[in-house]
Amino acid sequence: MEGFELIRQGAEAKLYKGLYLGKPTLAKERFRKKYRHENLDLFLTKERMKAENRAIVRCKAFGLRTPAIYLVDFNRRIIFMEYFEHNIVLKDFIEISPVEVLTRLAVNIGETLGKMHESNIIHGDLTSSNMLLVNKNDVDSFDNLDDLSLVLIDFGLAYVESSAEDKGVDLYVLERALSSTHSTADRMFPKILEGYQSYCPSEFKEVFNKYEEVRARGRKRTMVG
């Protein structure tokens, strides 16, 4: 990895930053996980690299902002993709922003997810760590929501599916991730649903019903009695 420096170790990959054909690039290396059986590790790594690429290409085709893919190297287990210089992870943004801003942003997140689901892309791991806010004017400023655009990342668990069930689960995963990380989750999530509904009112009802169904059968829910 000449010219690339390690910037972070995510859940399943090491992230390096560098230049590829003169462009700022993120290299995502799904390094060999020694804890799991070699066959399983190889299988999962390939599946996820394929899943990530397919989903990103599909997102692009439907006009959703994701990092552009530059090169996929199965042998070295690396995907080279667009690096956003001026970005903040949603998780960090939530912690520094007032609730009014967050509820406004939540509507926007809901619209984006509505669009993603309308394209039959299931993300599979929606969390506040897997969304970036990128400054449109190429400066490190994240005060004005209108200057920021939402970028979805980490499509390793993504797949194409049209069923309301999978979309419902996707939303449920997001709700769980938000509520276990952010105190503002209970203010944000209804706004996310609102944004989703406004984007695809026809599909929303079925997805929402499934979401409620999934929520009701989830094991770790609250029940009195």
Contacting residue, 2, 21, 35, 138, with other proteins by CB under 8 A: 35
Piece in contact with other proteins (CB under 8 A), picked from 28-36, 51-59, 98-106, 140-148: 28-36
The position carrying tokens 């989830």 is 218
User: Is 147 designated active site?
Assistant: no
176 binds other proteins (CB under 8 A): yes
Residue 67 or 124: the one with the smaller Cβ distance to other proteins is: 124
DSSP element (H, E) containing 189: helix 185-199
DSSP element (H, E) containing 131: strand 131-135
Q: Integer distance in angstroms from the first to the last C-alpha of the chain?
A: 57
* Annotated catalytic residue within 41, 125, 143, 186: 125
Whole-number Cα distances in Å, 166 to 52, 72, 111, 125, 223: 17, 27, 18, 12, 24
Name the nearest CA neighbour of 154 among 52, 33, 31. Answer: 52
Query: Smallest gap, in angstroms, from Cβ of residue 217 to other proteins?
Result: 11
Contacting residue, 37, 61, 138, 216, with other proteins by CB under 8 A: 37
217 binds other proteins (CB under 8 A): no
40 binds other proteins (CB under 8 A): yes
- Tokens representing 47 are 């599946």
Residue 156 or 195: the one with the smaller Cβ distance to other proteins is: 156
Q: Assess contact for 88 and 94: CB atoms under 8 A.
A: no
Which residues fall within 8 angstroms of residue 7, CB to CB, at 6 or more apart?
15, 16, 17
Contacting residue, 1, 3, 6, 9, with other proteins by CB under 8 A: 9
Piece in contact with other proteins (CB under 8 A), picked from 62-70, 72-80, 177-185, 189-197: 177-185
Q: Distance between CA atoms of 181 and 88, rounded to whole angstroms? A: 17
Piece in contact with other proteins (CB under 8 A), picked from 62-70, 120-128, 184-192, 200-208: 120-128
222 binds other proteins (CB under 8 A): yes
Name the nearest CA neighbour of 42 among 51, 52, 58, 30. Answer: 30
- Tokens representing 83 are 């690096």
Task: Return the ∠ at Cα 189 (arms to 196 and 128), rounded to 5°.
Answer: 95
21 binds other proteins (CB under 8 A): no
Residues forming the site for other proteins (CB under 8 A): 9-12, 31, 33-37, 39-40, 43-44, 91, 124-127, 129, 157, 169, 173-174, 176-177, 180-181, 220-225
Among all residues, which ones are annotated catalytic? 125
